[in-house]
Amino acid sequence: MSTGALLAIDLVAVLLLAFGLYFPRYQRRDMVVALLGINIGVMAVATALANAEVSAGVGLGLFGVLSIIRIRSEELTQPEVVFYFAAIAIGVLGGIPIEPAWYTPALMTALLVALFIGDHPALFRGFEQHRMTLNEVYTDRAALETRLSTELGGSVKRIEIKKVDQVRGTTTVDVRYRRG
């Protein structure tokens, strides 16, 4: 497949990722810019490395370092990390010719379909997760579950106590629940 065709397929795939999947669900303009920028940058570097006398390990190592720097620069949610790496993967696929030629669009499509299904709002409708700090110390799990069920208006599925501060009289929890 020609470099121009790969570039066109990459652009269509990353535009679908950013504007068709990510932005409608999360509405973070800054992440759209990051997804587009990292994808085009990775695709450009992958194209250059594919045409240079450099080992694939050097190129992949470079992408790994760039990814770690970006991911550590701001706290991202798990879905945002996945969208970020999807943009990187699409860029790598768009920059390196693979034979047979249909593999590239097929792999990009598989990635987009997996994200569309796995991150679809209807998939786990009603299930929520929150990190909360309560103005009370809880040592009795049953009492904690009762309070959270009442406060959140749902059925608590999992509670993870993150921190109990006896001095300030607070309990920080990660709670997963299903809305009533």
Each residue of 82-140: pLDDT tens digit?
888 888 888 878 877 778 888 888 888 988 998 888 888 887 888 888 899 999 999 89
pTM of the model: 0.64
Q: Which two tokens stand for residue 90?
A: 């699409």
Each residue of 60-81: pLDDT tens digit?
666 666 666 555 556 777 778 7
- Strand duo 154-165 + 127-134: pairing: unpaired
Of the residues 118, 142, 158, which one is the last residue of a structural domain?
Answer: 118
Print the SS3 string covering 40-107.
Answer: HHHHHHHHHHHCCCCCHHHHHHHHHHHHHHHHHCCCCCHHHHHHHHHHHHHHHHHHCCCCCCCHHHHH
pLDDT at 54 over 70: no
Banded pLDDT at 164 (limits 50, 70, 90): very high
Residues 21 and 105 both lie in one domain: yes
Each residue of 28-45: pLDDT tens digit?
888 888 888 888 877 777
- Tally of domains within the chain: 2
Residues 90 and 73 both lie in one domain: yes
Residues 61 and 19 both lie in one domain: yes
pLDDT for the residue 45: 72
pLDDT for the residue 100: 86
Residues 96 and 171 both lie in one domain: no
Residues 131 and 104 both lie in one domain: no
- Distance in angstroms (rounded) separating the CA atoms of residues 122 and 25: 11
pLDDT at 148 over 90: yes
Each residue of 12-29: pLDDT tens digit?
999 999 999 999 988 888
Structural domain span for residue 142: 127-179
Of the residues 118, 140, 159, which one is the last residue of a structural domain?
Answer: 118
